[in-house]
Amino acid sequence: MKRTSTAATRVFVYGTLLSGEPNHRLLRGARRIGSARTQPRFSLYDYGPFPALASRGKHAVEGEVYEVDTFILAALDRLEGHPHFYQRTSIALDGAGRVEAYLFPKARLTGRPTIKSGCWRTHLKEKKSW
């Protein structure tokens, strides 16, 4: 069956959906716009096997932007448990306009370590050297 969807949504990914990471396969068929970073108004947390992005922080977070159709967006929503686990929200990127991103409720991040570099890949490399 051929997918016919013209609606495109730009999504910022910053963890397991990044190219080369375990869940990137869900972005097959999406158009990669490029590397991007948030404005320095967020915090990135280590939530074990994946990161959690929260608003009202002080760091810029690195990631990638993809243009996805409604089918891929629905698959991403399922993966991220939107709206009950993560909440898909419109955010402003640094110099690249507004995109959708999956944010985690800050109240559920108490006690989780902050990733001060704002980069999940850098954090994973640092964890391996511990």
Does the annotation count 126 as an active-site position? no
Catalytic site residue from 21, 64, 67, 80: 80
What confidence score (pLDDT) does residue 4 get?
54
Question: Using CA atoms, how far apart are residues 3 and 52, in angstroms rounded to an integer?
Answer: 31
Homologous superfamily (CATH) of 9-128 is Gamma-glutamyl cyclotransferase-like (3.10.490.10)
What confidence score (pLDDT) does residue 95 get?
83
Does the CA dihedral 29-31-32-36 come out positive or negative? negative
Any idea where the domains of the chain sit in the sequence?
Answer: 9-128
Q: Residue 101's CB: how many other CB atoms inside 10 A? A: 26
121 close to 18: Cβ distance less than 8 angstroms: yes
What confidence score (pLDDT) does residue 96 get?
75
Average pLDDT, 10 consecutive residues per value, the chain (130 residues) = 69 98 97 96 96 96 98 98 97 91 95 96 87
